[in-house]
């Protein structure tokens, strides 16, 4: 298995980051995250932020001035999520 992606708000990391967490909350919990790329979406801007060493990435939607997590991707530590990531339609 290369990755696990969830859009469920019931999934939470050890430090309580979940879908619907703000980008600021995620940055506090994962200060090493880096913005990777924009995903295609007709309604809003969605960007992927990745913490390579921790093996976790976040899809962040920019809608109405708010940056909110819409999906969490757990992946192999030390490998960029973009090396294996397959975006799925919302």
Q: CB-hemisphere CA count at 13 Å for 13?
A: 22
Is 10 a domain residue? yes
3-state SS assignment for residue 41: coil
Is 59 a domain residue? yes
Is 90 a domain residue? no
Partners of residue 37 on adjacent β-strands: 48
Is 87 a domain residue? no
Is 20 a domain residue? yes
User: CA dist 20 to 10, 77, 85, Å?
Assistant: 10, 23, 21
**What local confidence, expressed as pLDDT, does residue 88 receive?**
54
Of residues 89 and 71, more confidence is placed in 71
In the chain, how many domains are there? Answer: 1
Separation CA 38–CA 49 (nearest Å): 10
Of residues 89 and 58, more confidence is placed in 58
For strands 45-51 and 56-63, give the pairing: antiparallel
pTM of this structure: 0.86
Write out the residue range of the structural domain in which residue 69 sits.
3-80
């Amino acid at each position: 298995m290369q990755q696990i992606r969830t859009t469920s708000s019931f999934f939470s990391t050890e430090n309580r980051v979940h879908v619907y967490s703000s980008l600021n909350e995620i940055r506090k919990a994962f200060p090493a995250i880096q913005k990777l790329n924009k995903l295609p979406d007709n309604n809003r801007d969605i960007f992927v932020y990745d913490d390579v060493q921790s093996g976790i990435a976040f899809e962040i939607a920019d809608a109405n001035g708010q940056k909110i997590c819409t999906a969490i991707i757990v992946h192999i530590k030390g490998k960029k999520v973009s090396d294996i990531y397959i975006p799925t339609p919302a």
